[in-house]
Amino acid sequence: MAENVDGDALTSEVVRSFSSTSDERLRQILTSLTTHLHAFVVDVAPSIEEWEQAVDFLSRTGQACTDVRQEFILLSDVLGVSMLVETLNGQETPEATDSTVLGPFHMVESPARELGDDISPESEGPRCVVSGRIRAVDGTPIPNAAIDIWQADTKGFYDVQQPAIQSVGNGRALLRSDAEGRFHFRSVIPMHYPIPTDGPVGELLKATSRHPYRPAHIHFLVTAPGFRELTTHIFIAGSDYIDSDAVFAVKGSLVKDFVQEQDGQEAERYGVPSPFRHGHFDIVLHPES
């Protein structure tokens, strides 16, 4: 900051310029933004060239956005802001299942499937089984909950990333829990995958020697009348990058073992060859306030 500029006075003047904002929340946000942004600029003291570089970076981040790509969400993800917002708006009781980020691949409607269906019929690899129960924090089962599921395949690709290889809907399902709140489906265990690196966010990761990978996971979005919507993942225990998710979305409570089941009768019950890997995941919803 140049010596003849009173930074505090400038900050106060800008804050004052918002004093007539009739929307109180908007005034609060702009006051905080101005105060923190000015403090950040004072702290960093950018050269003119650095400031122009920052403007260019943000401009190109916006220009990289399309109908099927959201580079700004990706920037928010890799800076940990998406996870921070998710945490601030998440479940308030420790008994309820933790939430985590939505991620950029919930972009098409999942096909309605029956309990027990294979949700990744076009994906190569051995079938696994995922099962669990949707229940309230007091233990009451929640029947007929809508369970939206989406995942990558065994090579780490979502259907929408490979339109020439996978049909839209492969690796996706919209299920309904049964009368006891239970659900189960067959699928493949997804692989870890990189977030897109061919844009400005990729440049940021490269410049900071950060890897772009997310550990293997399956997304869930669960809704039921009278309960708060839950957006979460289960992470597959033992996956690469489980301790260094590029978007900081791993919570210990969401890491689940996919155990090797040797019981032939269980395999028959689920319609998979024996042995198979089985992930069990109860989802606990918080009542709507």
Query: Contact with Fe ion (CB under 5 A): which of 75, 77, 96, 103?
Result: 103
CB atoms under 10 Å from CB of 74, counted, come to: 28
Closer to Fe ion by Cβ: residue 103 or 132? 103
Residue nearest to Fe ion (CB): 103
Q: How many residues bind Fe ion (CB under 5 A)?
A: 1
Find the shortest distance in angstroms from Cβ 285 to Fe ion. 21
Contact mark string toward Fe ion, 27..56, x via CB under 5 A: ------------------------------
Bond into 275 cis (ω within 30): yes
Query: Can residue 190 be called a binding residue for Fe ion (CB under 5 A)?
Result: no
Contacts of residue 222, Cβ cutoff 8 Å, sequence gap at least 6: 134, 145, 146, 147, 148, 229, 230, 232, 283, 285
Nearer to Fe ion, 18 or 248 (CB): 248
User: By CB under 5 A, which span of 102-110, 167-175, 179-187, 202-210 interacts with Fe ion?
Assistant: 102-110
Beta strand pairing call for 258-261 and 172-176: unpaired
Q: Which stretch binds Fe ion (CB under 5 A): 25-33, 101-109, 112-120, 247-255?
A: 101-109
H/E stretch holding 10 reads helix 7-17
Of 286, 132, 131, the C-alpha closest to 223 is 286
Identify which range of 57-65, 99-107, 112-120, 262-270 contacts Fe ion by CB under 5 A.
99-107
- Residues lying near Fe ion in the complex (CB under 5 A) are found at 103
